[in-house]
Structure 1
Amino acid sequence: MTTTLPASVELLGRALDYTRARLNDVHGGLLDRPTPCGDWRLGDLLVHMEDSLDAFTEAAGGRVEVHLTHTTEGRVAAIEEKACALLGAWSRPGPGDVLVGGLDLASAVLVATAALEITAHGWDVAEATTPAPVPSDLAAALLPVAHLTVSQADRGVRFGPALPVPDEAPADVRLLAFLGRA
């Protein structure tokens, strides 16, 4: 995958647009619904999404700290606000590479990885509320990111095993299958 930071920021914007639309279907009565993420309920997924947005936004400053939250009140509004902050943070001149847990990551790859995670979790939210496919052009742009950033070591931890699909399957089906989602 070869990309520039502006191209990754544009991809991030598209991922955030897709996910924001999925979040419109979330309300308090749905927080106990199961998601495609193992034993996670929708409320758990929203907590994770908020934490991820914090981390990716902090990365725009050059370093990521770990913050844990355990409540679901106001989650969707907080996620939408943090999504805007994330896009804004990466739209400004960035720090160059970013230190994440001692690893030095290229900013363009980090932002593209954020787009991948945000899209995957947007799809997870949709599956728990109102199913909506990942747009083909977004999925096609994220496939090389997934192949670059999801390793065998991530399987069973962050992602399920890759699922078999025909090469001619649509991009969204291939992306989700690679991420262990059916």
Structure 2
Amino acid sequence: MSGSLRLLERAICYTQESMDAVVAGFGPLPTPCSGWDLHDLLVHVNDSLTVLQQGADLGFIDRYPLRDGLDGCRDPTSVLVTTFPARARRLLHACADAAQSDGRIAVGGMQIAPALVMVSGAVEIAVHGWDISVACGYHHPIPATLALGMLSLSQLVVDNWMRESLFNAPVRVSPLASPSDQLIAFLGRRPVA
């Protein structure tokens, strides 16, 4: 298994733990993602898994995971939580197949190596897992080894376009901050005290 696929798998496992903190009926809770409540965030995370899986299967991503409008999805939070594992499994299978090929994935007119798509997906999924945990009052830091791996790689894959689409400007934190807090801050979120 490639390092990028393993990183994606670990990000999904971490986010599943955050999903386990979601209680049936949650939905309008605020999240660290400005303008999104917990329900919106769960819709986005599930949509991200599907878009990434389709990119790995088809070799192109022709739409970005929902950011505005959230497609009018009104599935209850309980359905969105139970949908996550199946979508995550499909994504991991598609990425394992894509990692075996020499192909590229077309994203926004660029041909990108599947490994970079997996890294980008891992960063987004893990950070949204952190967002979910904070919204639920659970505050589950990203494990140090996972956060360190994603921090170094995210500095390579998070460009201005990705930052404008998904993340805010970096937030300053102490150099002594935990790896989780450093990653969260790099991606524009304020660590929880």
By the TM > 0.5 criterion, same fold? yes
Q: 1:31 aligns with which of 27, 31, 38?
A: 27
- Aligned: 1:110 with 2:117: yes
- Aligned: 1:72 with 2:69: no
Paired position in structure 2 for 1:168: 176
Paired position in structure 1 for 2:93: 88
Paired position in structure 1 for 2:36: 40
SS at match of 1:104: strand
Paired position in structure 2 for 1:100: 107
Confirm or deny: 8 A CA contact 1:46 1:72 kept in the other structure: no
Confirm or deny: 8 A CA contact 1:97 1:106 kept in the other structure: yes
- Tell me: CA distance 1:49–1:95, structure 2 relative to 1, closer, same or farther (3 Å): farther
Confirm or deny: 8 A CA contact 1:53 1:86 kept in the other structure: yes
CA displacement, residues 138-177 of structure 1 (integer Å, 9 cap, x when unaligned): 0000012211122234445421110112223221111000
- Runs (4+) of structure 1 moved beyond 6 Å? none
SS at match of 2:166: coil
**Residue identity opposite 1:71 in structure 2:** R
Q: 1:142 aligns with which of 120, 142, 150?
A: 150
CA displacement, residues 43-71 of structure 1 (integer Å, 9 cap, x when unaligned): 00011111110111012121224376423
CA distance in 1, matches of 2:53, 2:165: 23
Deviates more, 1:93-102 or 1:118-127: 93-102
CA distance in 1, matches of 2:152, 2:186: 11
| Structure 2: 5+ residue stretches without partners | none
| Structure 1: 5+ residue stretches without partners | none
Paired position in structure 2 for 1:50: 46
SS at match of 2:75: coil
**Residue identity opposite 1:63 in structure 2:** F
- Tell me: CA distance 1:107–1:174, structure 2 relative to 1, closer, same or farther (3 Å): same
CA distance in 1, matches of 2:28, 2:182: 28
CA distance in 2, matches of 1:111, 1:163: 25
Deviates more, 1:81-90 or 1:62-71: 62-71
Alignment TM-score, normalising by the size of structure 1:
0.90
Alignment TM-score, normalising by the size of structure 2:
0.85
